[in-house]
Structure 1
């Protein structure tokens, strides 16, 4: 018995260091510090003074820092200092920046399906419905789009639309007849097709080159959002605006991570970030586009005439919209997308659902919009 007791005491003494170590480890885990804070570079070719930055992107980056209690923060490098608008996709993918803004239309070779979203400008009528539609297309409705993003190693958090486009020129304009024969600087092919429908000559122009093109007489007009008059310094060059709604640019991803940088964020914080997105979508289009449009129009209307467009311009717009589905399918065939027609049909159907069925249910109601967007999009996609 004495031998058994002695052996038992020996085993207890032998166990003590392990028990003590386990206890110390448990205590350490109980008081372990939170995950280390991490700062990410955010790159964009959009001018620093743009409302898209100051009232759109930067507030969302601040909200991300807040909801993660500073574990995720950003160093914004704007205005093309690290990545330009055309090469931003490559810069994000290759880790030149951790995150940033890119437009799918400038990466059509790498993103032949996703960049179709950028070609749907002519289908957009309401900014909120357009915002909902393009997010649903990318994150839920288009598997080919998601596969492209995954293969490229990038993680977009939301898609962006803007406010309705307007035609603005270096002289007063008010009608379709006033525009006939003029040259128009256009950013995308939908705007070029619309300019052609108006009897204008489209000239594909980078957004940052529109001002010198107008100043030097290389073009007479451009088709962009009203607030961009201020964002891109056109206040003293534009002399007339037709602000009849002429489609809504879509297809930009204003906050995108490369896969490695997104992977540095704890899963719990990733979930917190995604939880911000339904509200961020509403705030983005409201604060970065619709309110600045109204402010710029109010500020400039005393010296720049704003016209609603005449009956002929409205008639041509209706005809133009009717032909856009065929134009999208032709583009998909040019890209040799075997299932292009079916993909376009699904994309168009999503636009119609958001504009015809969902818009009447949430119009003007932010809470309802957020609920619909979360239910249909952000609760379904495993970011």
Structure 2
């Protein structure tokens, strides 16, 4: 009888220990709310789901990222909402908030310099820019890091689009047709381009662009081709003119983490978020470049037209891009107090040129993510970064 009681007591103790271990594991499991302004089913939503899966895998289920596409915060709400803890992770479009992120926006809005680079960058603009921007922000831009910290955020990776083109409700192929047109733009460089071409820039959230185009508030939306399906713009666009204005949207902190949340994580969990942080920076530009042709085919299948720009407009655009590197420095100095803009862009150019070479031959988003990890993200000290 005494042996039976001892055996039962041992069994009970083991059961209690197992229960306590299970309870401890469940306490460690933690949900992180990820807010993005793109709608469900968009390319960015799919990229976000891939990021969430990678976080769960790398943390053995300790962190569970719940993606809220266009439901928790829209693009215009993300900066303040993430700062105030309404979301734990956010898809930040920094050009929407020029005063809060001027140094990061200076780098992001210099993307039209891609027009003046060699032909190796064509079709890989976003992939090269993400690598260069990641490296520069992590290692050479303390001002960028200070801007994020002031907004209670930690930068864990950018994303970038394929090139931005004219998506209109009427043909806009030359400077005469462009004159007086109202263009929805998403950055000061595109605003300057519009004015230089005789058009009128209009600033609004991409969440508002469809209604603005349908109601005639704007004549064209300057976005990348995949956004025609991602944002539902396809139903209002009849004419696409490729190659102009060019440049890409690179002002994205694609997985910005709330600072308090970041500091509450273990070093291993922060390392996992950095490793998972390569997923969306690779997924978005790679998929955007791959989908351009398919979406343009959808435009023509729906009765729309795809135009090449008049050679004179294309040349004037390239001339604008070349001289705008000086203008952008002056603009950010005068408007936002950026003091070393010229130095930053001089340092950034060789980094970008290096990445144009590095992304050659990359033929999958997985290989692109591995390249970002090896060259940049793996070198970030998770034991000190953002703390």
Q: TM-score when scaled to structure 1?
A: 0.83
Q: Does 363-372 or 88-97 show the bigger shift?
A: 363-372
Give the corresponding residue for 1:43.
35
Partner of 1:254, secondary structure, is strand
Instruction: Indicate how the Cα distance of structure 1 residues 379 and 315 shifts in structure 2: closer, same or farther if over 3 A, else same.
Output: same
Q: Could you tell me which residue of structure 2 aligns to residue 105 of structure 1?
A: 95
Report deviation, 1:166.
1.2
Alignment partner of 1:243: what SS?
strand
Q: Equivalent residues in 2 for 1:183-332 (5 A)?
A: 183-244=182-243, 246-287=246-287, 289-302=288-301, 303-332=303-332
Is 2:380 the partner of 1:381? Answer: yes
Please state if 1:120 is matched with 2:121: no
Equivalent residues, number: 352
Report the Cα offset of residue 267 of structure 1.
Answer: 1.7
Secondary structure at 2:316 match in 1? helix
Residue aligning to 1:86: 76
- Work out whether residues 51 and 292 of structure 1, in 8 Å CA contact, stay in contact via their aligned partners in 2: no
- Relative to structure 1, the CA distance from residue 304 to residue 156 in structure 2 (aligned partners, 3 Å threshold; closer, same or farther) is same
Is the contact made by 2:113 and 2:322 (CA closer than 8 Å) also made in structure 1?
A: no
Structure 2 distance, partners of 1:332, 1:253, is: 19
Rounded Cα–Cα distance in structure 2 between residues aligned with 1:88 and 1:354? 29
Q: Give the gaps of 5 or more residues in structure 1.
A: 1-23
> Structure 2 vs 1, CA of residues 186 and 110 (structure 1 numbering), >3 Å: closer, same or farther?
closer
Residue 7 of structure 2 corresponds to which residue in structure 1? none
Alpha carbons of 1:351 and 1:184: their partners in 2 closer, same or farther (altered >3 Å)?
Answer: same
Computing the radius of gyration over CA atoms, which structure comes out larger, 1 or 2?
A: 1
Q: CA deviation at 1:76?
A: 2.2
Q: Is the partner of 1:242 in helix, strand or coil?
A: strand
1:3-38 Cα deviation digits (max 9, x unpaired): xxxxxxxxxxxxxxxxxxxxx9xx99xx78557110
Partners of 1:149 and 1:213 lie apart in 2 by 31
* Structure 1 vs Structure 2 CA RMSD: 2.6
Does the CA contact (< 8 Å) of 2:167 and 2:221 recur in 1? Answer: yes
Paired residue for 1:70?
61
Q: Which runs of 5+ in 2 are unaligned?
A: 1-13, 115-120
Tell me the distance in 2 between the aligned counterparts of 1:375 and 1:111: 27
Does 204-213 or 363-372 show the bigger shift? 363-372
* Alignment CA distance shift 1:168-1:284 (3 Å): closer
Per-residue deviation, 1:281: 2.5
With the length of structure 2 as denominator, give the TM-score of the two structures: 0.82
The answer to whether the 8 A contact 2:34-2:66 is kept is yes
- d(CA) in 2 for partners of 1:107, 1:203: 15
Closer/same/farther in 2, CA of residues 271 and 290 from structure 1, 3 Å limit: same
Contact 1:133-1:351 at 8 Å conserved across structures: yes
Which whole-Å deviations, capped at 9, do the CAs of 1:213-244 have from their partners, x for residues lacking one? 22222221121111211222222221100122
